[in-house]
Amino acid sequence: MPLTADVIASSQLTSKDMPHVRYETTPVEDVPRTKADGVMRFKNQDYAVETMPGGKATNIFKIENFFERKAEELKSGRILPEWLTHWQSTYELYKKGQEIPLDGTPIRGWKLITGAQQEELIRLNIMTVEALAHLTDEGMRNVGMGALTLKRKAQAWIAQNESHEAGAIKLNTLQRENDTLKETVAAMEEKLEALAKQVEQKKGKAS
């Protein structure tokens, strides 16, 4: 399956085009040690498993080959710099045995769909609500019946949240402006009070 990032100009790429990458470790034969010891020896080999959200086909690379390939794709403008940075940081977390954070709202636990629907989407590497909202035509075909309804539900949920967030930001801005105005008024009142005292003092001296 050709990757979207391979066929779209870098100026047109957005976060929704970023392939989903997970990591696996598999024991493989350590050929030099096998030859040296005369018995089969093994070592752990890390792999990067790359798929598009909603896609079924995967690209599997040895981890070192994966990053070499992505560095070349970055030079040719087929991926964005932040994608490579993201994959590098998540691989470091994987090596440390730490959970890799999702870039978005996790599908698992999203209350607007059933648990069964959540698991079906996760099996298709649709890990976040944002990925569902930007599902490609191929992804929708793979999801099957009800895909359009799910996609629209995700889009509506994101739009609603963005609206609430914008409202909260506006309210916060108004509150800050109001606090600044109160501070300005208080400062002016202090100056007027000080000026009034000076006037009274001058009147007392004059009399």
- State the Cα–Cα distance between residues 53 and 45, nearest whole angstrom: 25
> For residue 29, what are the β-bridge partners?
42
* Helical (H) or strand (E) element with 62: strand 59-62
- State the Cα–Cα distance between residues 130 and 157, nearest whole angstrom: 10
Phi-psi region of 97 (alpha: psi -120 to 50; beta: other; left: phi over 0): left
- Does pLDDT of 8 surpass 50? no
Which pLDDT score, from 0 to 100, does residue 33 have? 92
First to last CA, the chain: 98
At residue 1 the predicted structure's pLDDT band, cuts being 50, 70 and 90, is very low
Q: What is the pLDDT of residues 71-116, one digit of tens each?
A: 999 999 999 999 999 999 999 989 888 767 777 888 888 989 999 9
Q: What's the Cα-to-Cα distance from 138 to each of 1, 4, 13, 54, 148, rounded to whole Å?
A: 11, 11, 18, 7, 12
Task: Report residue 196: phi and psi, to 5°.
Answer: -65, -40
Q: Percent of the chain scored above 70 by pLDDT? A: 85
Query: What is the four-CA torsion angle of 141, 146, 148, 150, rounded to 10 degrees?
Result: -120
Token code pair at residue 8: 């779209």
Question: Beta strand 59-62 with 20-29: parallel, antiparallel or unpaired?
Answer: unpaired
Smallest CA-to-CA distance from 112 within 101, 123, 121 is with 121
For residue 145, how many other CB atoms are within 10 A of its CB? 6
Reported pTM: 0.57
Largest CA distance in the chain: 115
- Does pLDDT of 169 surpass 70? no
What does the H/E/C string look like for 115-184?
HHHHHHHHHCCCCEHHHHHCCCHHHHHHHCCCHHHHHHHHHHHHHHHHHHHHHHHHHHHHHHHHHHHHHH
Average pLDDT along the chain: 82
Which pLDDT score, from 0 to 100, does residue 45 have? 94
- Does pLDDT of 207 surpass 70? no
> For residue 62, what are the β-bridge partners?
47
Least confident residue range of 31-35, 62-66, 133-137:
133-137
